[in-house]
A = this chain, B = another copy of it.
């Protein structure tokens, strides 16, 4: 399977990965959430080559995750801003960072802390059920076939055990 084919999979995960399933893309998005907007700033902070950066920014714009906005003309200059679709990736970024904080931090501890302005506290992100509000665990989630399912693939296999997901 190639990148180009990923997009057409029925699995939501595969479709998402066709947009953000690349290490540079995710690092670019991290910087977007930190407020970075300009080509040369991304280039410097990430250490990515200009060619790849140009390509990824183009992909993200095409996918509607970023939009290219002119902030001056003469000379023409623009910046890349997160769209609503892009802002919706916040839980993805936060959960990745949180896993790194917990499992990959050096002995000095985590590199950054997050403060929730609404309540004032330093916090950890927690993933909960939209219906009952309790923390989700792989053991008590069951995967059901939805309306957009082509067939068979990506459904639980074997005796099935306890954990399930897609």
A residues touching B (Cβ–Cβ < 8 Å)? 1, 3, 6, 10-17, 19-23, 26-27, 30, 33-37, 41, 45-48, 82, 85, 87-119, 121-134, 136-138, 140-150, 153-161, 163-166
Q: Are B30 and A111 in contact (CB under 8 A)?
A: no
User: Do A140 and B118 form a contact, CB below 8 Å, given A26-B21, A165-B33?
Assistant: yes
Q: Are A126 and B130 in contact (CB under 8 A)?
A: yes
Copies of this chain, complex-wide, total: 2
Q: Are A89 and B93 in contact (CB under 8 A)?
A: no
Q: Are B104 and A146 in contact (CB under 8 A)?
A: no
**What are some 22 contacts across the A-B interface (CB < 8 A)?**
A13-B27, A13-B93, A13-B100, A33-B164, A33-B166, A35-B161, A82-B163, A90-B136, A90-B165, A97-B165, A108-B148, A109-B148, A112-B145, A112-B154, A113-B143, A117-B140, A117-B141, A118-B140, A119-B131, A125-B128, A125-B130, A126-B129
The complex places the Cα of A93 from the Cα of B88 at a distance, in Å, of 15
Q: A19-B104, A112-B146, A114-B143 are in contact. List 17 more A-B contacts (CB 8 A).
A: A12-B101, A13-B26, A17-B23, A35-B156, A41-B158, A85-B103, A91-B127, A91-B136, A92-B96, A105-B148, A108-B147, A109-B148, A113-B143, A118-B129, A121-B129, A123-B131, A127-B128
Q: Are A129 and B110 in contact (CB under 8 A)?
A: no
Chain B residues contacting A91 (CB-CB under 8 Å) are: 91, 95, 98-99, 125, 127, 136
Across the interface, A12 reaches (CB within 8 A) one of B3, B112, B160, namely B112
Q: Are A132 and B121 in contact (CB under 8 A)?
A: yes
Q: Are B142 and A115 in contact (CB under 8 A)?
A: yes
